[in-house]
Amino acid sequence: MSRTERLRLEEAVSQADRDLEELAVQVADGEIDAVTAARLREAYHRERSEAAARLAGLDADRPPAEPEGPPMRRSRGRALVGGLVIVLAIAVAVGLVGRLAEDRDAACRGSPPGTSSIPTTTRTRPWRR
């Protein structure tokens, strides 16, 4: 059976245990009479034992687990690609930080973002012949 079935059966066992605990509290508080409590206790025990038996059957049907071998080593190429990705990510981050710092400095000086702080035009006298 599937993992979902196993989880459902484990939850059914847990729910029956919680129901039995709650029933004991309700009987102690006098909320439920003895006849009703006995009927409910029998139903909860039956539900729990059925779910536990089906769960045990799942374990019996499952083949034994394969022993784990040594951990797999990463190939050199895979490690190299991973290292290059990390270096590239750091370079992009440094470049973005530098670009953002330039834009912030330009905004503080009042020039549009992406422009240099060095003036590109100078005032000179017209050239005469």
Q: Where do the domains of the chain lie?
A: 3-61, 77-116
DSSP 110: T
- Its pTM stands at 0.46
Q: According to the model, what pLDDT value does residue 71 have? A: 65
The helix, strand and coil proportions of the chain, stated in percent and rounded to the nearest 5, come to 70, 0, 30
Q: Are 6 and 55 in contact (CB under 8 A)?
A: yes
pLDDT tens profile 58-75: 766 666 566 666 666 668
pLDDT tens profile 7-24: 999 999 999 999 999 999
Q: Which amino acid does the sequence have at 117? A: S
Separation of alpha carbons 119 and 44, rounded Å: 86
